[in-house]
Structure 1
């Protein structure tokens, strides 16, 4: 039934490949735990017969193994989604996960790169020493200049760029399309890169040296290399540039709803994490400038 569930996620729910893969891994881990916990062979195991006590024991083991609460909650969500699928198919009478509660999470503020570090990052000398400076710079420019996700970046085709109205079309989570405005400097970089690389409209914008589609670890390595040159922040990932895009917009007066739409968030709650960084900045300004502070 796991295969049917994964097909349902991919083809009916239109979940991303990464989401389907995460669900698959969580379900495999849970099944292995059930085999050990119940003392049965794989041939004799029936996931529809699992009870709450077994699910609870699994969560306890995850906590004992020092799995972070955020990861535990994701695994709980995976198992809960699977059993809701079985309930919908009338293969079980009730959810074994019904009494399960998510673990409390400490608030985690998004990491971002400071404005002066970003300014230094786009100094031509930063990219000059590397083998593919134009490609690498464009990757950084796109991530910081648009706030797109890593998965959205590697799927951009030349045809997705509209030079007539200076917008970029990206395919986000759950296959939701959105248009993102492009600033003039990024437009010029894109035009120059496409012309130099002689790319057709059907081609992927960012590719490997052998002209294959880029892959996540390649982009992650490139971003980490360049952020390491300018930032002392512990986290140096493509998502940090997404956080930086949102934080800098908010600090410069952008409305939260506009940032939500640019990021492709489905609700405002996901975007509100950036207000914490903005409030910290306002406090510093207040303490420096208010006569009574």
Structure 2
């Protein structure tokens, strides 16, 4: 029952469906750990949280996955506080998230200047590349939109007076992106 209440609370807080699903699954994972390993412990306590985090680390979960679960439990902690089940912030992200050593984050491969030149040279060839595909490359290269955002862009999303493109991103959030003149063309 409490999980359903949590999901409803997240919905009223304006969270996206995927976010709610993710938080709920993380809390269910925590609760099943509690039932399995710490039978006498209340729902969420500093002790149970620390044990759970240690368990995740021992199981070899990626740091990013553990931090996501910590974040979900922090939101759950907030929910339990609004209901009066717990009266303190048991989880504090600053203290409880696992710090990632600088430089060890996942490396993102970016195109070199030379590779960008080659790509642009290739897409300029009208015989080989359609205008549509050229535009796709331009938008990805010059705006930083996600592919999932790119596929839903329509002409109506462009404000030709201000050279702005309106994009609906993750969680249904809308943002405006400035467009270069050549991309606008």
TM-score (norm: length of structure 2) = 0.74
1:115 aligns with 2:113: yes
Aligned equivalents of 1:17 and 1:136: distance in 2? 32
1:133-176: CA deviations, max 9, x gaps? 65554333222211123453344343211234322012346655
- Structure 1 residues 158 and 34, CA gap change in structure 2 (3 angstroms): farther
Counterparts of residues 129-278 of structure 1 (less than 5 Å): 135-172=132-169, 176-188=173-185
The higher-RCO structure (CA 8 Å, 6+ apart) is 1
1:74-103: CA deviations, max 9, x gaps? 211110111111101213234443696221
Q: Answer yes or no: is the 8 Å Cα contact 1:48–1:92 preserved in 2.
A: no
SS in 2 for 1:170: strand
Name 1:35's counterpart in structure 2.
35
Gaps (5+ residues) in structure 1? 41-46, 189-293
- Structure 1 residues 138 and 16, CA gap change in structure 2 (3 angstroms): farther
SS in 2 for 1:148: coil
Aligned residues: 177
Q: Answer yes or no: is the 8 Å Cα contact 2:67–2:98 preserved in 1.
A: yes
Aligned equivalents of 2:98 and 2:110: distance in 1? 26
Name 2:7's counterpart in structure 1.
6
Q: Answer yes or no: is the 8 Å Cα contact 1:26–1:75 preserved in 2.
A: yes
Name 1:74's counterpart in structure 2.
68
Q: Answer yes or no: is the 8 Å Cα contact 1:48–1:91 preserved in 2.
A: no
Root mean square deviation of aligned Cα:
3.3
Aligned equivalents of 2:8 and 2:146: distance in 1? 24
Aligned equivalents of 2:156 and 2:26: distance in 1? 37
SS in 2 for 1:104: coil
